[in-house]
Amino acid sequence: MTAPQSLAIRCRGLTKHFGEVAAVDGFHLDVWEGSVVSLLGPSGCGKTTALRLIAGFEEPEAGTVEIGGREVAGPHGWVPPERRQVGMVFQDHALFPHLDVAGNVGFGLPDGDPARVAEVLDLVGLGDLSQRMPADLSGGQQQRVALARAMAPNPRVVLLDEPFSSLDAALREHVRAEVRQILAVAGATAVLVTHDQEEALSFSDVVAVMRAGSTVQVAPPTTLYLEPADEWIAGFVGDADFIEAPVQDGLATTALGEFPADGPDRVGARVMLRPESVVLEADETGKGVVTDRRFFGHDQLVTVRLDDGSRVRSRFGPTPVLAEGTRVAVRAESARVF
C-alpha cells in the first residue's frame, strides 16, 4: 500500500455517516506535492467532512487516508490530528483569543521558536504586528495570522475550510490573491474547501467537484470549465445554456454552428453553451431575437430566443448595444456536447 512519493494526500473510499445521513460516501482524492486543490461543492455535499477526515477530526467508517505515503486512517490504524503534520485554517480563523499574534503563530513550534515566528510573519507581511491581540486585527489580518500559524511548523499540507467566506466581498478577492501568493512562495501543498466556483477556479491547480459525498470530477480549472463531465457540473461551475441537437458522424449540428461530439449518432443530444462563447451580430435575417439585456458596465448579458423556441445567453463587452426586439445572427465559438 505504498503510494508514490510525490502524493501528499491519497484518499480511497472514505465513508462517514452522521446518524443515518452519509456525509461522505466513497470519497477518492489524490493531491500531489506542491499543488493546490479545491474541494468544490454545494452546501451539504460533504466537502467539509472530507477535509475533517483528512485532518483527523473525524474518524472514517471505511476507506483510507494517507498523508505523505503513511496511512493515517484506515484498517492499519489511526493517527490523531496532532501527529498528522497538517496545518488547518478555519472559516472563523479560530485564533486563540488569549494569545497575541506571536503566541498564536508560535503555538505549534517547540518553545514558540521566535526566529521561525518572525520568518513566517514576514512571509505573510505582518512582521510588525507580532504583539497585537487577535481582537485588535482586521478580518484580513486575522486570516493571514491563521495561515501563518498553520504554516509555521512546516506541515505536509495546509487545509483551508472556507477561509474566505467570513470576509466581506470587497476584501475577499484581495486576501485570496495574497494567500495564493504566500502558498506559492512557500511551495506549500494545500486543499481548499469552498462552495464558490469562481474561488475554486481562480485559486487552485486542480478542482475536485463534490456531490452527495463523493468527487464527481477532478480536473484543472480550464478543463473543468470547458469540458465538464456532466450537465450538473456544467451548470454548477458557471453559467450554461443547453440546446438539443442531432449528432451524426461525430458532429452536432445546431442553429449556432457545428460542434465535435463523442459517442454514437443520436438525436436530441444536449449541447452546452457558455455565454462568453456565444457571439451576436445585428442581422435582419438572423435566427434569434433579443428578449432581455442586463448591463453591468464591464460587460453585458443578453438573452436571445432562437426561432426554434430555445433560449441562449451571450456575454460580451459594453458595446454594441442590442436593444430588446433586435433580430440577431447567433453563433458559438465553442460548445460541449453531452
Partner 1 sequence: MAAPPASAHRGRSRLLPAPRGLGPIWAWVTAVVVLAPATGTLVWMVLFNAGQGADALESIGLARTVELLGNTVGLAATTAATAVAIGVTSAWLVTRTDLRGRPIWTVLVALPIVFPSYVGALALLGSFGPSGVVNEWLGTSIPKPIGFVGSWLALSLFNAPYVFLLTVVALRRMDRSLEEAARGLGLGPWAVFRRVVLPQLRPTLAASVLLVALYAVADFGAVSFMGFDTFTRAIYSRFRIGDVESAVAIAAVLVLITIVLLLLVRDARKTSAPPSARSGREPVLVSLGGLARFGAGAFLTTLVGVSVALPTAVLITWTLQGSSASWTGLAAAAFGSLGVSALAGGAATVVAVPVALLVVRYPSRWSGSLDRVQWGLYSLPHLAVALALLVFALRVARPAYQTLALLVLAFVTMFLPQATGAIADGLHGVSPRLEESARSLGRGPAKAFTSVTLPIIRPQLATGALLVFLTTVKELPATLLLRPTGLDTLSVRIWSATEEGLLGRASAAALVLLAVSALPMFLLSTRDLRRARP
In terms of CB distance, is 87 or 288 closer to partner 1? Answer: 87
Select from 7, 62, 107, 112 the one that contacts partner 1 (CB under 8 A).
Answer: 107
Q: Which of 30, 66, 100, 161 binds partner 1 (CB under 8 A)?
A: 161
Phi, psi angles (nearest 5°) of residue 333:
-80, -30
Distance CA 281, CA 274 (A): 17
Burial class, 294, CB count within 10 angstroms (exposed 0-12 / middle 13-18 / buried 19+): exposed
Which of 47, 176, 274, 313 is the binder for partner 1 (CB under 8 A)? Answer: 47
Asked if 45 touches partner 1 (CB under 8 A), the answer is yes
Determine how many CB atoms are found less than 10 A away from the CB of residue 222.
10
149 binds partner 1 (CB under 8 A): yes
HSE-CB at 130 with a 13 A cutoff on CA atoms is 18
What is the H or E stretch that residue 1 is in?
none
Query: Minimal distance in Å, beta carbon 338 to partner 1?
Result: 27
Nearest-approach distance from CB 17 to partner 1, in angstroms: 9
324 and 303 in contact (C-beta within 8 Å)?
Answer: no
98 binds partner 1 (CB under 8 A): yes
Using DSSP's 3-state secondary structure scheme, residue 274 falls into coil
181-220 residues in contact with partner 1 (CB under 8 A) are 195
Of 203, 193, 119, nearest to 153 by C-alpha is 119
Smallest separation, CB 193 to partner 1 (Å): 8
Stretch that binds partner 1, among 40-48, 215-223, 268-276, 314-322 (CB under 8 A): 40-48
DSSP readout, 18-63? Answer: ETTEEEEEEEEEEEETT-EEEEE--TTSSHHHHHHHHHTSS--SEE
Tell which one of 60, 108, 163, 238 touches partner 1 (CB under 8 A): 108
Q: Which of residues 313-332 bind partner 1 (CB under 8 A)?
A: none
The residues of the shown chain that bind partner 1, judged by CB under 8 A, are 18-21, 23, 42-49, 52, 55-58, 80-84, 86-88, 90-92, 94, 96-98, 107-108, 149-150, 153, 155, 161-162, 165, 195
